[in-house]
Amino acid sequence: MIAGRHGLALMSGTVVGLAWQLQQPWLWSGNRYLAMLGWSGLLGFGAVLWLWWIRCTGRLSIPGRRLAAGVFVLAGVLAGAGSTGWRAAHFASQALAPELQGVNIEVTGHIDSLPQRTAQGERFLFAVASARQRGQPVDVPQRLQLGWYGGGEGAAMWARGAGSPGLRTGEQWRFSVRLRSPHGNANPHGFDLERWLWSQRIGATGYVRNGPRDPVPQKIAAASGYPLQAARQQVRDAIQARVDDPRAAGVLAALLVGDQSAIERADWALFRTTGVAHLMVISGLHVTLFAWMAMAMVAAIWPRLGRQWPVLLLSVPTPVASAWGGWLLAAGYALFSGWGLPAQRAVIMLGVVMVLRLGARRWPWPLVWGCAMWAVLLIDPMAWLQPGFWLSFFAVGVLFASGRQLPGMPSQDDDARPSAARDRWRRLLLSFMGMVRTQAVVTVALAPLSLLLFGQFSVASLAANLVGIPLVTQLVMPLVLLGAVFAPLWDVAAWLVQVLSVWLGWLAQWPWAAVHRPVAPLWLSLAGVFGGLLLVLRLPWTVRSAGLLLLWPILLWSLPRPPMAAFELMAVDVGQGSAVLIRTANHGLLYDTGPRYSPESDAGDRIVVPLLRALGERLDTVVVSHIDGDHSGGADAVQAAHPKARWLSSYDPDPGRRCLAGQHWEWDGVRFEVLHPHPHHFDETGKGRLSTNDMSCVLLVTAGEHSAWLGGDITDRQEVRMALDRPDLRATVMLAPHHGSRSSSSPVLLNTLRPQWVIAQAGYRNRFNHPAPTVLDRYRQRGIPWVTSANCGAATWRSWQPDTVHCHRQAERRFWHHPGEPDSASRPD
């Protein structure tokens, strides 16, 4: 009875309610969400009864239909918000208790993912069966993300290769672990780790204790009862053993078993630059291709089976058997590949399309497209926040809306019948031109959306995908799949991947291969997305040209800069480390580059450089306070991205690149002055030489009456000397020296600077306990408010608004974010 416009009203309302709930900073109680579901059911049931009554009485009118549609929209909003909120509240109720963070807990369960090997150890997901703390049962989240790293008695196990523990998915283990609640860096336009963990239903992260005084991890049972997971790891290991090139082996493993961690970071950067990253993961394209091949196979086999068992053809016609057989096989492939979110979306979408297309009615494509999107969101509401969801559905919608026969090509009913050879070449030409047109349409239409989601789009993607799509989908993928039966085919697939890498590497060297633009406001970006859509729709060119007018503003847009004689300071959230961006009206300076997290990862590559690109910032000067890795770990990535910037540090052998007391310059009415170290500090040797911390470059930035003091890891001894040398020194905002260590922030420095704000860059639950309680007491005694990056995220202070520190974590808070601990973030009365 609920059909047509009323069904669309219900689905539209559900999507609106779901999206509204995902924007909430806090969750309500589960009972409130259940009440919303109850009201939704009552409204929907009442609307159905009312429609049935007025139809029976013949009183149905246009106002009555509109009122019914409105009721269905409201019921959908309540259903979408209620179901999303109730599931979120249920998951949140299983959160790790605060008193269980950082203590030894014995957990028993099984490995729930393909273990990822790194230079330090292995990372894996762990499904918990039981947990005990000091012999008493405790409740911990059902799914954990754990790392097992070298150290203690197990150090010898971490020689990569045969000496590693060799964890296998499905194995049952007993570990002593230390856990903490999910917590990630919070920066503008940055990766939201906490959202990703929530979407994966990971309730806590931690590491296995394997020191000399810790219980030895115990393997309880082999991977029995998990044949699918065991088969996935066996295939991955077989690929790595068969293929000599580790880069090609990583791509093959990602395509067959969904192990994206097997692809190196440098290759991911290459794939993103050339716009082919979607080809190197189990995406909707691969699942759809597999479904198409499976349908063709079932369509060929089913009639032959029908000759032997005619009842099969009588009960299930070949088109139906082909459709559902292909869908089931595609679902099996998605399961084997790890059942990732893109694969789930593709399977759900294909299922919805099958149901609608095999029905008695011929449904228009917008309805099929909308129903598929609605079904995906109903099953996984968090998909609404994933870029892949928007890219995939937008691309499919664009292809549906813009599809037509190429102009100028001969039609099927031409009078002259060409020869078979000519007809074959014509079909090949038509196929190639169709592929070029399709890729051009997708490239143009997705460019504004890519700018909105990533702050970049790949110009080289058209040329890259023209080669990459047929090569990967029609050659590499079939060879990878058949290689599971005949392993030598993996060698051929690896060779093709190497050929593709050479082609992509050449494209990536183009100076305009990828265009990076500042991330524009949402309203302007959405106008650009609409402009890109206009350019590819089947409309008159006079209408299409309006798309260029809508696209132009997002290409020219730039982030508003500080006024003259003022500056903005952003303490970037890089964890346990330091990186501070200072912007004036026309210039930019970076103080420190963030820490190095591992041999494969650093804050410069992961956080600082993407942030600078999203802000459209070109650095003029980079100051690295000292050589310690938590301050200089991202220097290489920053220098590669900003080769023209001037560099100053306290450890460079080139005297022209050293920071020296007395250096000063002025940008846009803002004065920059280096206060430390002095020239003689570089000449001292032996016991007279300062430690790396005390050699930190100290920078003072002044605009009118307000200033910022940045001191690196300088200790109290140098703080006192500096204060005695410059008793008139003042600072409106101070970067807590040494992240708030008890060996810094001396009373003498605080009494001299008299800061109105202190920003402490320190990681969440860091092992140094920064900022130290004694230091916070000093701030508290002097009435100095402070914020920490762990609770504030990126902290922004502006010299023309000196009484306010903007905390990104608080401003952009959503219910999946860690609640944090209260900082002294309010000015004292």
HEC sequence for 298-312: HHHHHHHHHHHCHHH
- Name residue, tokens 């290409």: 555
CA atoms within 13 A on the CB side of 255: 31
Nearest one of 569, 571, 577, 591 to 762, comparing CA atoms: 577
- The enclosing H or E element of 129 equals strand 121-133
- Name residue, tokens 């605009």: 703
Query: CA-CA distances (angstroms) from residue 207 to 111, 232, 379, 716, 730?
Result: 14, 24, 31, 34, 44
Tokens describing residue 599: 């041999």
Tokens describing residue 536: 């590819």
**Runs of H (alpha helix) within 712-787:** 716-725, 747-753, 773-781
Nearest one of 638, 625, 588 to 737, comparing CA atoms: 625
Q: Tell me, yes or no, if the two domains 98-225 and 568-811 fold the same way.
A: no
Q: Which residues contact 604 (CB under 8 A, 6 or more apart)?
A: 593, 594, 633, 634, 635, 636, 637, 638
Tokens describing residue 118: 């790194």
Pairing of strands 733-735, 706-710: parallel
Between these two residues, 155 and 504, which has the higher pLDDT value? 504
pLDDT tier for residue 160 given thresholds of 50, 70 and 90: very low
The whole-number pLDDT of residue 754 equals 96
Residue 443 DSSP one-character state: H
Query: How far, in Å, CA of 82 to CA of 527, rounded?
Result: 31
Q: Where are the domains of the chain?
A: 5-92, 98-225, 242-404+430-516, 568-811
Pairing of strands 204-208, 143-149: parallel
**pLDDT digit string, tens, across residues 602-622:** 999 999 999 999 999 999 999
State yes or no: pLDDT of 765 exceeds 60: yes
The DSSP-derived string for 62-113 is: HHHHHHHHHHHHHHHHHHHHHHHHHHHHHHHTTPPPGGGBTSEEEEEEEE-S
The whole-number pLDDT of residue 687 equals 64
Query: How far, in Å, CA of 826 to CA of 735, rounded?
Result: 17
The whole-number pLDDT of residue 403 equals 56
Cβ–Cβ under 8 Å, residues 432 and 246: no
Q: With left for phi above 0 and alpha for psi between -120 and 50, is residue 565 left, alpha or beta? A: left
Instruction: Write down the mean pLDDT value for the chain.
Output: 87
Percent of the chain at pLDDT above 70?
91
Of these ranges, 350-354, 375-379, 453-457, 590-594, the one predicted with the greatest mean pLDDT is 590-594
Query: How far, in Å, CA of 199 to CA of 87, rounded?
Result: 12
State yes or no: pLDDT of 218 exceeds 60: yes
pLDDT tier for residue 586 given thresholds of 50, 70 and 90: very high
Of these ranges, 162-171, 501-510, 536-545, 570-579, the one predicted with the greatest mean pLDDT is 570-579
Query: How far, in Å, CA of 195 to CA of 345, rounded?
Result: 18
Measured from the Cβ of residue 631, the count of other Cβ atoms closer than 10 Å reads: 31
Measured from the Cβ of residue 63, the count of other Cβ atoms closer than 10 Å reads: 8
Query: How far, in Å, CA of 571 to CA of 579, rounded?
Result: 6
State yes or no: pLDDT of 406 exceeds 90: no
Query: CA-CA distances (angstroms) from residue 632 to 84, 363, 649, 692, 712?
Result: 43, 59, 10, 12, 11
State yes or no: pLDDT of 810 exceeds 60: yes
The whole-number pLDDT of residue 643 equals 95
Query: How far, in Å, CA of 740 to CA of 713, rounded?
Result: 9
Dihedral angle computed from the Cα positions of residues 544, 548, 550 and 556, in that order, rounded to the nearest 10 degrees: 170
Compute the Cα dihedral for 411, 417, 420, 425 and give only its sign: negative
Compute the Cα dihedral for 724, 725, 727, 732 and give only its sign: negative
The whole-number pLDDT of residue 815 equals 96
The whole-number pLDDT of residue 392 equals 82
Query: How far, in Å, CA of 659 to CA of 648, rounded?
Result: 5
Q: Which residues contact 446 (CB under 8 A, 6 or more apart)?
A: 391, 394, 395, 398, 457, 532
pLDDT tier for residue 299 given thresholds of 50, 70 and 90: confident
Of the listed ranges 85-99, 107-121, 399-413, 420-434, the one predicted with least confidence: 399-413
Instruction: Tell me how many degrees the CA angle 676-679-682 measures, rounded to the nearest 5.
Output: 95
State yes or no: pLDDT of 450 exceeds 80: yes
Query: CA-CA distances (angstroms) from residue 678 to 211, 592, 659, 663, 721?
Result: 44, 19, 9, 10, 12
Peptide bond into 771 cis (omega under 30): yes
The whole-number pLDDT of residue 762 equals 95
pLDDT tier for residue 421 given thresholds of 50, 70 and 90: low
Between these two residues, 569 and 539, which has the higher pLDDT value? 569
Output phi, psi for 589, to 5 deg.
-130, 140
Query: How far, in Å, CA of 170 to CA of 230, rounded?
Result: 7
Query: What would the mean pLDDT of 97-119 be, rounded to a whole number?
Result: 91
Of the listed ranges 173-187, 288-302, 415-429, 577-591, the one predicted with least confidence: 415-429
415 CA to centre of own chain: 55
Query: What would the mean pLDDT of 229-247 be, rounded to a whole number?
Result: 89
The DSSP-derived string for 449-464 is: HHHHHHSEEETTHHHH
The DSSP-derived string for 601-632 is: EEHIIIIIHHHHHHHT---SEEEE--SSHHHH
State yes or no: pLDDT of 1 exceeds 80: no
CATH of 98-225, one of 1.10.3470, 2.40.50, 1.10.1410, 3.40.50: 2.40.50
Tokens describing residue 221: 């049972």
Query: What would the mean pLDDT of 342-356 be, rounded to a whole number?
Result: 80
Query: What would the mean pLDDT of 210-237 be, rounded to a whole number?
Result: 85
Of the listed ranges 127-131, 393-397, 410-414, 441-445, the one predicted with least confidence: 410-414
State yes or no: pLDDT of 158 exceeds 60: no
Query: How far, in Å, CA of 254 to CA of 273, rounded?
Result: 19
Compute the Cα dihedral for 425, 430, 433, 435 and give only its sign: negative
pLDDT tier for residue 770 given thresholds of 50, 70 and 90: very high
State yes or no: pLDDT of 635 exceeds 90: yes
pLDDT tier for residue 162 given thresholds of 50, 70 and 90: very low
Tokens describing residue 557: 């847009």
DSSP reduced 3-state for 221: strand
State yes or no: pLDDT of 330 exceeds 70: yes
The whole-number pLDDT of residue 155 equals 43
Query: How far, in Å, CA of 563 to CA of 529, rounded?
Result: 31
Query: How far, in Å, CA of 532 to CA of 489, rounded?
Result: 41
Query: How far, in Å, CA of 99 to CA of 108, rounded?
Result: 20
Of the listed ranges 60-64, 174-178, 512-516, the one predicted with least confidence: 60-64
Beta bridge partners of 125: 145
The whole-number pLDDT of residue 431 equals 66
Cβ–Cβ under 8 Å, residues 570 and 542: no
The whole-number pLDDT of residue 161 equals 38
Measured from the Cβ of residue 409, the count of other Cβ atoms closer than 10 Å reads: 11
Query: What would the mean pLDDT of 254-272 be, rounded to a whole number?
Result: 86
- Name residue, tokens 């149901």: 355
- The enclosing H or E element of 792 equals helix 789-792
pLDDT tier for residue 444 given thresholds of 50, 70 and 90: confident
pLDDT tier for residue 376 given thresholds of 50, 70 and 90: confident
**Dmax over Cα atoms in the chain, in whole Å?**
101
The whole-number pLDDT of residue 17 equals 96
**pLDDT digit string, tens, across residues 66-81:** 788 889 999 999 999 9
Query: How far, in Å, CA of 375 to CA of 393, rounded?
Result: 12
The whole-number pLDDT of residue 555 equals 86
CATH number of 568-811: 3.60.15.10
